[in-house]
Structure 1
């Protein structure tokens, strides 16, 4: 049985229509009209146990609405959803004990109390024994490098430390399915790397299923082999990140550093010139021509150093959303 199974999931919101001015306000008060907005439209996918899947889309695409339906916070307009063998909107205790939702812009820790006190409250909610709670706090705090911070009030923690503490609190009951909505939002590079490393270890240790939304593509490339792309409420791609790159970026970036400056005209046969900075040149070369072009460049040009990379994943994802369909 998949950890998450979604069929034809749809969420429609009625949105009130109001004309400007006093007359519009009066009509809106006595005879309100609505239009139907599909935040999520006929979405279907399945995620196996232990998978780490990126869930991507521009702002307003329906990502958070979908996550809220998967966690049972809102009721779908139509469709079927199964998470950990349960129907989310029934909000059964056995279901809630197997999932968690971490939102980068929300907090569950009590601001003026030490993190440890909030963890004890969570332990009581999930009926953990004192020994179980101590063992899990010790294990997770060690993984997150947070042990020395647990006795400080939450308001005294840095943003990165607070996010780690939120993660610890959300995982104290050892859930099997993790929904993470922008978990590295606002964190510096070091804190982002620490959260990614922790999630990798947690996934490997407990075979937890993770659904991750993030605007930081480094989170996705570091953690996810598979991505789901949602655009205007519709799922437009479900597949590997590598296939997406190959489909929407049929070129590679070749950065060459020459022993001496080379005229632009001499570089034109080797690919599309992206930039020239003295002896350093960046070219776009089609994937199927890469081997031939690189061989010719090494043989015919004064190459001092040469690297080949994929274009930034942000550019690839941006092209997908600009196209609106895959």
Structure 2
């Protein structure tokens, strides 16, 4: 491929109760709710976007939360860990913070020169906090729940679990333009662009692990960045010409998307950086109101009746009380 991604755009997972999901990611992890909308393919379900102040690509974790969703199975053919970047000196603070919230976390481990702490969200989704020794220049969302000096800077990496690595590695390097960085036992690391937090993917080879089942507590897809629609369209043509089964370009209101599966089974997306989350509400008010795309707006009353009420904290805006 002649086109290469610069890094992660977002990770989308399946959640359970929407209120519990919002409470955890807003209050415990200290992210900002940058968009409250619905699953465009199933508008009776929320699509909640969490990120930094403006929801920049590379900071976004999003959820389809179904209150009565069955529990999924983490295994091969999935992204099994989503990791966030935190300051190097903050891992100890986070371990104490999670414990105070009754969240069990692992011991701090060092991998590839980085301190790593893993834990699960209320639906069982595996998450990580990683402190990169060279730091992370991205600014955090400072909403008062997590002090800015310890706050999450954005996505760090994802881990894909596969039973065999060769075809997946080929897709990452040839299809997405990533570079193989190193291997430690059964874990292979690949980097996008200049590398560093937000531009990393690990491939964990576990041939004896069960096949994953996407439902609550699992990742639905992993999205990679394209700078604009023209690049995305050219990228899609290259993927199709190489024999990849790719969707048409879909309008996700805040970006354009194409989807395809890597050979190990994980659903991948290429999403545009443009136009962003401030196209239908001011930056100061991101996430505070239910936003619908034009083609769903005529059904607003029906959609709102079907959605459970969300009680969002006042800190979800810049001018907090």
TM range (shorter): under 0.3
TM-score (norm 1): 0.26
Q: Which has the larger radius of gyration?
A: 1
Bigger fraction of residues in helix: 1
